[in-house]
Amino acid sequence: MKRVSDGLVDRSRDLNFSFDGKQFAGHPGDTLASALLANGQTLVGRSFKYHRPRGIFSAGVEEPNALVEIGRGARLDPNVRATVQELYDGLSAGSQNWRGSLRHDLMAVNDLAAPLLAAGFYYKTFMWPKAFWEKLYEPLIRHSAGLGKLSMQPDPDAYDTGYLFADLLIIGTGPAGLAAALAAGRSGARVIVCEEDFLMGGRLNSEQQHVDGVASSTWAANTVAELKAMSNVRVMTRTSVFGAYDHGVFGALERITDHVGHQDQSARQIMWRIRARRSILAAGATERHIAYPDNDRPGIMLAGAVRTYLNRYGVAPGEQIAVYTNNDDGWRTAIDLAAANVEVTAVIDTRDTPPPVDTSGLGNAVLVRGANIVKTTGRHALTSVTLDTGVTVPSDCLAVSGGWNPNVHLSCHQRGRPAWREDIASFVPAGDLPVGMGIAGAANGELSLGAALRSGHDATAQALAALSHGADIGQPPQAVDEACEITPCWHVAHEAKGLRKAWSRSWVDLQNDVTSKDVTLSVQEGFTAVEHVKRYTTLGMATDQGKTSNVLGLAILAEATGQSIPDTGTTIFRPPWTPVPIAAFAGASRGEAFRPVRHTPSHAWAESQGATFTESGLWLRAQWFAKPGESTWRETVDREVEQTRSGVGVCDVTTLGKIDVQGNDAAAFLDRVYANTFSTLAVGKVRYGLMLREDGFAMDDGTAARFSDTHYVVTTTTANAVGVFRHMEFCRQCLWPGMDVHLVSTTEAWAQFAIAGPHSRELVSRLVDELDVSNEAFPFMACAETTICNGVPARLFRISFSGELAYELAVPARYGDALMAHMNDTGKDLGAVPYGLEALNVMRIEKGHATGNELNGQTTAGDIGLGRMVSQKKDCIGNVLSHRDGLAAADRPRLVGFRPVDKSVQLRAGVHFVSHGKDVITENDEGWMTSVAYSPSLGHFIGLGYLQNGADRMGDLVRACDPLRGEEYEVEICSPHFLDPEGDRLRA
Amino acid sequence: MPDHTDLQARPALYGLKKQYGSLLVEEITETALVTLAHARENRDAVSATLSSAIGAALPDIGHSSVADDGLTLLGLQQDQTWCVFTHPGGSADRALAARLGETSGLYLTDQSDGWCVLSLTGDSVLAVLERLCSLDLHEGEFKVGHVARTAMEHTSVIMLRLGHSHFQLMSPRSSAGSFAHAIDNAATHVHKERLIE
């Protein structure tokens, strides 16, 4: 193997790289595969199941064999196709799937056991004894399975996602794609051109052909330069369009740094969603091979790939190369090799027809027609091929062409089924194509250069016409239509006899080690449908998705079942066309950026006070504020509760939803969405509100404050802030569009703080500028718009969740952090203390207030003890259905309180209640504990929960059973209002 | 008695200002946002009121109109329009009401503190936004003066195009840090990638 020309690589510069620790050099423009071949590295990997030595088989994304690991440490990337990995200085690559060494793989013992390891072996063998599966078989199989190894570390690279738009998306830049792009670009339309290779041109760079009188690669380069100069054309190399989705949306993966190695502050790859009004699939065709005995040896390569290495990379993949073909295209490989002074040892055509080319330049090559290869030799590299004529030809490389399969994949992603074309012995796109998609070039079965160019040009003309884009796009580029006749030859019968026959195999799918025997075995076993054969044999699975094997496999299947190939059909084509890292789908949404984090206005101050935070939806809320010397969270929370109840506590409650409700019909609107009445609420007053769902269950609770005849501010629970707003908007827009009512979420706009405790009035009075906050002037459930701290706009509400004399004070969010600090500072002599979500929860349980634990979607207003709030003087959403038998039944669970008989017992939420003398089984379940807390005010645990007929069982004892933890204790049923049941404190 | 202590107002992103190559990302801190709602049938009357009071009529949805002093009306939904104007203090709704004079049938809600306003200017702005925004921002589609309510990185965003390479983005204040991180991530990557061969 040697460089026979410059090809399209830059041989003025060297790039150093390593493979399995050995240092090599290549050049800019090389792939890892071309550089390995140029350095004589034929053996590059081991096969999946039999650990057979494997070499480079193709020159593109279809590669089944040359899968390597790139990088080190956390950046170790397995199963990278050497045929598409661009070479860069310092690239570190390694072979995979061996134990011992690549040349001496201990697992190659599998190959000796090949007769026992046919398709279905696993299914039949590892069924017994049953106990062995989990302990022995599965670990063993998992250890042996797979190809590359993951780093087992988090991927340290960055990925992005993004959105692109175009009038016309052109997928692929071979002759058809470039002809299409050129016409589209000149028309002025918005065009995106995607090419998965780093060099645009496709097979124009692999062939010794001419377009418009210049070398095809030169024409490609000139065309690309013209496209790049057009402001209306976006040229994207290293970008694989991997999926065609609904409504003209395509998924595309752009590789940003894979050709240079890791770069700080850059995305490694970008996953684009491209929305295109029209698209042209010009993805070309993939060559397939032929199934003949031992057709997997290193050195056996697709004929078109041999031309690519020769013409594009200037590398001859062998020194004595034979060609084996069933079509005219294979002969061009022999012609190009001979023209480059590479020895062609034989051209074996399965057809008994005259050569389609002038063979005078082929020198001493043996030209055989109507023959097949029945044997190959060479363990780590091919040494010879033997024909069915008995002739053996020495060869270190065999170029094989079994025909070309149009790359129909993206045309089938919307369930389109391709159609069989007998003249090219391949499937072409047909049926329901993705909306707006046209097909051009080899992807549509136009296998000659001239036809491909015309096809691309015409596809653009059609797309532009559909877009009513009437520009003159001129004439298509001109090229000859070379011969491309084919007579299918799918596989060669096994000639081996006796014991040797058991080991004689013809590979169909090189990546999964699926042989022609496996396919016929599948049929024998009754798996005759193409999808069943795929699952039984693994044909067409893994990273290459059977690009070189699928059609060959189903042709063999068709023969085995006696069906035609079109009747046999193909498996379903699904995205992605080539592998896409999961990380690319995630893009930047990972780690801390997985989802947005919402900070309360006083978050910075809370952080400075050493607060511990907890997630509440997307919010981060201060859970408690530990002080030095406090060793447990309970100690901290108990103190916060006690200090609030004895002095004054301040808590950021901004997360509660706030909805500005304005309009002439605001009052009537609220009457309809809330169970209780708000139209009678006086201006300057607040009322507790309960909202029902359409089905009559409780939906959410909160308050509504009335600031004018046409202006209310309602609050929701934190968890339901979005849901309630959405529900109210639905009511406004869809149920009662004629009402003059307007909703604006102002949750974010106002920083709101609960100020609770006997000294709260004093603290508030130190803040307000002029408002009289005396009990007489500003009683319980009053509200006002005012100013504080020398002119800061504010809203003050006298409401209480803690059961204490309490206020909620709202200021524009920009002042939230400063106000929190100011209140704690100003109220120091009053014993002011910040309290977190946990203390808030303790105090609301002491007071018997319901929250999300109690409003779980299964409870009614009556269950919570608020049945009388459902006004019967008016209608509201949920009113009618709340009277259903089941919802109004007397024996429904009711919200009650629980205290342990043994005061030292720790209650737990989730326990179920069972009466004495009954078994702890579901049938005897009488209810469950929803919330528990240690009450520092009472000195023991307390709980809230639902209990059948609970309201009528005050003072009774019931068993609290926790089968999960094996706990059981007695609790006494009591009022849920553990503290100040008359509400004297909050009205003080 | 009142304490008479002025509270220090704090911008959502502490007045963020950062350059990424040619792209400048800057928090605009003295912008007032007031929603102006009205009954649907009053649209023409409201538009006339606005025209005479501030010199800008109600814009269609997706468009904006600008008053002589720069006050901008954003058309975001059928019966609600956003007013964007410079106003350093609080109570922007009252300030606007005073300016409008006649406000019967108009419902104003001050949202200034609910949103963080970012200005993105520079020739790489489209390259950055195409990694965040699912809208087609081609100048022929999303023209100067166009406005849209959309989502970026799971965050609600209102976007106004002020120039070929100048956008104003408004996102909720509480998650402004996450949004700024998303912009920082995209802008950093775009800037670095332009340096990669």
How is A961-982 classified by DSSP, letter by letter?
EETTTTEEEEEEEE-S--S-TT
Which residue spans within A172-236 are E strands per DSSP? 191-194, 210-211, 214-215, 233-236
Q: Which positions ≥6 away from A861 have C-beta within 8 Å?
A: A675, A690, A692, A698, A867, A869, A870, A882
Cβ of A163 within 8 Å of Cβ of B134? The answer is yes
- At A495 the pLDDT is 64
Cβ of B192 within 8 Å of Cβ of A264? The answer is yes
Residue of B35, B130, B154 with shortest CB distance to A595: B154
SS3 state at A642: helix
Cβ of B133 within 8 Å of Cβ of A163? The answer is yes
C-beta separation of A809 from A753 below 8 A = yes
The interface residues of chain A toward chain B in range 436-495, judged by CB-CB distance below 8 A, are: none
Which residues in chain B touch residue A749, judged by CB atoms under 8 angstroms apart? 110-114, 173
Residue of B1, B111, B153 with shortest CB distance to A588: B153
Whole-angstrom distance, CA of residue A775 vs CA of residue A768: 15
Residue of A711, A789, A811 with shortest CB distance to B3: A789
The interface residues of chain A toward chain B in range 238-297, judged by CB-CB distance below 8 A, are: 256-257, 260, 263-267, 270, 273, 275
> How far, CA to CA in Å, does A192 sit from each of A279, B1, B196?
9, 68, 21
Q: Give the side-chain half-sphere CA count within 13 A for A335.
A: 14
- Quote the minimal CA–CA distance from A470 to chain B in Å: 18
- At B71 the pLDDT is 95
Cβ of A593 within 8 Å of Cβ of B153? The answer is yes
Which residues in chain A touch residue B193, judged by CB atoms under 8 angstroms apart? 256, 266-267
Residue of B8, B179, B189 with shortest CB distance to A818: B8
Q: Which residue of A has its CA nearest to B138?
A: A165
Q: Where are the domains of chain B?
A: 17-193
- At B103 the pLDDT is 78
Which residues in chain B touch residue A740, judged by CB atoms under 8 angstroms apart? 39
Residue of A267, A814, A815 with shortest CB distance to B189: A267
Cβ of B186 within 8 Å of Cβ of A588? The answer is yes
Whole-angstrom distance, CA of residue A489 vs CA of residue A427: 16
- At A498 the pLDDT is 65
The interface residues of chain A toward chain B in range 725-744, judged by CB-CB distance below 8 A, are: 740, 742, 744
Whole-angstrom distance, CA of residue A716 vs CA of residue A698: 13
Cβ of A664 within 8 Å of Cβ of B91? The answer is no
| Sign of the torsion formed by the C-alpha atoms of A136, A137, A138 and A141 | positive
Q: Which class does domain B17-193 fall in?
A: alpha beta
- At B2 the pLDDT is 38
Residue of B10, B79, B141 with shortest CB distance to A817: B10
Cβ of B182 within 8 Å of Cβ of A593? The answer is yes
C-beta separation of A292 from A516 below 8 A = no
- Quote the minimal CA–CA distance from A147 to chain B in Å: 32
Residue of B2, B90, B185 with shortest CB distance to A588: B185
> To 10 degrees, the CA torsion angle through A559, A560, A564, A570?
-110
C-beta separation of A24 from A31 below 8 A = no
Q: Give the side-chain half-sphere CA count within 13 A for A918.
A: 16
User: Which of A13, A15, A89, A160 to probe the B interface (max B CBs under 10 A)?
Assistant: A160
Which residues in chain A touch residue B39, judged by CB atoms under 8 angstroms apart? 663-664, 740
- At B104 the pLDDT is 83
Cβ of B177 within 8 Å of Cβ of A826? The answer is no
- At B197 the pLDDT is 63
Which residues in chain B touch residue A619, judged by CB atoms under 8 angstroms apart? 174
The interface residues of chain A toward chain B in range 141-200, judged by CB-CB distance below 8 A, are: 158, 160-165, 190
Domains of chain A: 2-112 (3.10.20.440), 158-285+406-466 (3.50.50.60), 288-404+484-568 (3.50.50.60), 598-655+749-844 (3.30.1360.120), 657-745 (3.30.70.1400), 890-988 (2.40.30.110)
- Quote the minimal CA–CA distance from A831 to chain B in Å: 17
Token pair of A241 as six digits: 């369009």
Give me the residues of chain A with pLDDT under 70, please. Answer: 1, 494-499
User: Which of A237, A708, A814, A817 to probe the B interface (max B CBs under 10 A)?
Assistant: A814
Residue of A597, A749, A819 with shortest CB distance to B111: A749
Whole-angstrom distance, CA of residue B115 vs CA of residue B158: 9
Which residues in chain B touch residue A267, judged by CB atoms under 8 angstroms apart? 189, 193
Q: Which residue of A has its CA nearest to B39?
A: A740
C-beta separation of A836 from A625 below 8 A = yes
A771 touches chain B (CB under 8 A): no
Token pair of A117 as six digits: 């390891």
User: Which of A660, A767, A785, A819 to probe the B interface (max B CBs under 10 A)?
Assistant: A660
- Quote the minimal CA–CA distance from A196 to chain B in Å: 17
Which residues in chain A touch residue B115, judged by CB atoms under 8 angstroms apart? 748
Whole-angstrom distance, CA of residue A380 vs CA of residue A167: 51
- Quote the minimal CA–CA distance from A234 to chain B in Å: 12
Cβ of A790 within 8 Å of Cβ of B5? The answer is yes
Q: What angle do CA A52, A53, A55 make, to 5 degrees?
A: 130
> How far, CA to CA in Å, does A370 sit from each of A287, A351, A364, A602?
21, 5, 19, 85
Which residues in chain B touch residue A769, judged by CB atoms under 8 angstroms apart? 2
- Quote the minimal CA–CA distance from A749 to chain B in Å: 4
- At A315 the pLDDT is 98
Whole-angstrom distance, CA of residue A632 vs CA of residue A249: 54
Cβ of A596 within 8 Å of Cβ of B185? The answer is no
Number of A–B residue contacts, CB under 8 Å: 174
Residue with tokens 């040896």: A297
- Quote the minimal CA–CA distance from A924 to chain B in Å: 45
Which residues in chain B touch residue A817, judged by CB atoms under 8 angstroms apart? 10
DSSP code of residue A814: G
Per-run averaged pLDDT (10 residues), chain B, 197 residues: 66 97 96 95 93 94 95 94 91 92 89 97 97 96 98 96 98 97 97 87
Residue of B91, B109, B177 with shortest CB distance to A744: B109
Token pair of A773 as six digits: 């906050």
> How far, CA to CA in Å, does A908 sit from each of A636, A934, A951, B17?
20, 10, 21, 50
Crossing angle of helices A633-646 and A837-847, rounded to 10°: 60
Q: Which positions ≥6 away from A274 have C-beta within 8 Å?
A: A163, A164, A165, A166, A169, A192, A194, A241, A249, A250, A251, A252
- Quote the minimal CA–CA distance from A707 to chain B in Å: 13
Q: Which residue of B has its CA nearest to A594?
A: B153
- At B5 the pLDDT is 55
